[in-house]
Amino acid sequence: MLSRKQTPGVVSNQQCDTYAWFSQRAWVEIDLGALSYNVQQLVQFLSPRTQLMAVVKADAYGHGAVTVAQTVLQSGASWLGVATVPEAIQLREGGIKAPIVILGATHTPEQIHAIAHWKLQPTLCSPKQALVFSNILEEMNYGSPVPVHIKLDTGMSRLGTNWQQAGEFVQLVQRLPHLAIASIYSHLATADSFDTTVMKEQHRRFEEAIAHIKAMGIQPPCLHLANSAAALTDRSLHYDIIRAGLAIYGLYPAPHLQNVIDLKPVLQLNARITQVKTISPGTGVSYNHQFIAPRELRLAVVGIGYADGVPRNLSNKMQALIRGQRVSQIGTITMDQLMLDVSAIPNVQEGEVVTLLGEQGNEQISADDWAEQLNTISWEILCGFKHRLPRVAVM
């Protein structure tokens, strides 16, 4: 494990202890201290009856699932949420023992065998799926009941049984052998918007469904509804578990939620300068000469490109940090390389570290800045870094 201050020079990752600077052209730095801090901030914000499910799907939003899972479990999270069976198996193979809920749908015999074998907890979205599970577990002659999470659709129109049929669905699952209801949950469609009208209606529908289930004489063991945005918006949405993804990675789901708790971005994107040169006025830069030098300038070539996950649509629109100063990216971003105008920084050297996302000194470039430029959301930016970039954990 490296301290962030030690990073220049030699970088280590999981495969290899030491890399000469030239072999580590670009990397994603994961600040486990910040990750732990964010989890602690969230846990402190919750009432003692509410547990934290850390959502680590999509390789922990690009941060590296096993390392993230280990850290969040040590810092106060009790559950892990993933999207797929292979994501869950990766965690189990990495030694993770905590309960893992598969938030996506699973249907096939292979998936159900794996769920039983690896002691995973599936989401059940429909009576049909519940019957398939029960039948396959029966065929397997599987001993202990599999904990299942009942998904209700209260207005997202994605996975789940319509909230108005919740009672019948829950009753069916309760009567099926080999299944034990571990929780009943739903997902909110508009929790990050300033207008809470739709979210309140979904909350009302969830309450109505739960009331119906209770009226049938069934006591739901555990309820959950909130993602990061909902958790930061309204405590009445917390129930027994909150399912937080974005917030544990240190980003706010919306600008109006920035003052609720303090969060620190976990991911930093770094690359090294591979060549520095001076170009004369009128010189075109990169493919199609989408940038023409207006004056003589110092140009730095950096070893990172769109094949690493720096979106080509940021060409001529993004900035980077060198020695704590902002510089502009110039010309089209290419597959493996991009160029910066470093004229303002004296004597820039090959091998120096450039931060494309993250903090240097008093300057910061966040995934929100990229998302705004690209007309998307920070979730997509975080998930976009390819595995050509090693994930380097720092404290």
Ligand X SMILES: *Cc1c(COP(=O)(O)O)cnc(C)c1O
| Active-site annotation, residues | 57, 287
Q: Does 244 bind ligand X (CB under 6 A)?
A: yes
Residue 245 or residue 303: which is nearer to ligand X going by CB?
245
User: Which of 62, 167, 245, 331 is the binder for ligand X (CB under 6 A)?
Assistant: 245
Q: Does 314 bind ligand X (CB under 6 A)?
A: no
Gyration radius from the chain CA atoms:
24
Q: How far is the CB of 58 from ligand X (least distance, A)?
A: 8
Q: How far is the CB of 24 from ligand X (least distance, A)?
A: 30
| Residue 44 token pair | 């402190």
User: Which of 64, 160, 253, 309 is the binder for ligand X (CB under 6 A)?
Assistant: 253
Cα separation, 384 vs 277, whole angstroms: 30
Residue pair 230/254 in contact by the 8 Å Cβ criterion = no
User: Which of 30, 35, 39, 55 is the binder for ligand X (CB under 6 A)?
Assistant: 55
Cα separation, 70 vs 62, whole angstroms: 15
Q: Please name the amino acid found at residue 124.
A: L
Stretch binding ligand X (CB under 6 A), from 131-139, 241-249, 256-264, 323-331: 241-249
User: Which of 63, 149, 178, 187 is the binder for ligand X (CB under 6 A)?
Assistant: 187
Cα separation, 221 vs 235, whole angstroms: 19
Site for ligand X in 267-286 (CB under 6 A): none
With contacts defined by CB under 6 A, how many residues of the chain interact with ligand X?
12
Site for ligand X in 195-224 (CB under 6 A): none
Q: Does 393 bind ligand X (CB under 6 A)?
A: no
Residue 10 or residue 83: which is nearer to ligand X going by CB?
83
Alpha helices in 216-285 (DSSP H): 228-233
Cα separation, 302 vs 134, whole angstroms: 55
Residue where the block lists tokens 């493919």: 287
Residue pair 331/291 in contact by the 8 Å Cβ criterion = yes
**In the bound complex, which residue of the shown chain has the CB atom lying closest to ligand X?**
245
User: Which of 246, 297, 299, 310 is the binder for ligand X (CB under 6 A)?
Assistant: 246
Q: Does 103 bind ligand X (CB under 6 A)?
A: yes
Q: Please name the amino acid found at residue 98.
A: A
User: Which of 36, 38, 111, 228 is the binder for ligand X (CB under 6 A)?
Assistant: 228
Residue 156 or residue 374: which is nearer to ligand X going by CB?
156
Give the three-state DSSP class for 256. Answer: helix
| Residue 268 token pair | 């930093």
Stretch binding ligand X (CB under 6 A), from 202-210, 240-248, 255-263, 305-313: 240-248
Residue whose C-alpha is closest to residue 257's, from 244, 266, 269: 244
Residue pair 92/111 in contact by the 8 Å Cβ criterion = no
347: left (phi over 0), alpha (psi -120 to 50) or beta: left
User: Which of 243, 272, 298, 391 is the binder for ligand X (CB under 6 A)?
Assistant: 243
Residue 187 or residue 391: which is nearer to ligand X going by CB?
187
Where along the sequence are the contacts to ligand X (CB under 6 A)?
A: 55, 57, 103, 187, 227-229, 243-246, 253
